Amino acid sequence: MTVPYKNAPWGQGLYLSAMALDAKGSVKYYGAVTRLEAPAGEAVLDCPLCKGEVLLFVERRNGAKRTDFAGAPVPLREA
């Protein structure tokens, strides 16, 4: 699935990430989709587990691949 984005913060260590939830709200998938190198673009979400609710958010990851900052999640709406 191709996901367009715009007005995103971008730069070193910033990623567009996704989290998929099941019907009970449990996390079934979490991961970085793409590094944000520009404020607008398209990202490819290749996630077989992303069939229920999917939330997208921006996060800053440090060298240990741990989140230092995460923006507010935005629900993904399929076209």
Mean pLDDT, contiguous 10-residue spans, the chain (79 residues): 91 91 90 93 87 90 73 78
Q: Tell me the pLDDT tens digit for each residue of 42-55.
A: 999 888 877 789 99
pLDDT for 36 equals 96
Q: Which residue has the tokens 């099941």?
A: 22
Tokens matching residue 9: 């913060």
Contacts of 67 (CB under 8 A, 6+ apart): 59, 60, 61
pLDDT for 77 equals 67
Reduced DSSP (H G I as helix, E B as strand, rest coil) percent helix, strand, coil of the chain, to 5: 0, 50, 50
Instruction: Enter the DSSP assignment of 4.
Output: E
The answer to whether 76 touches 56, Cβ cutoff 8 Å, is yes
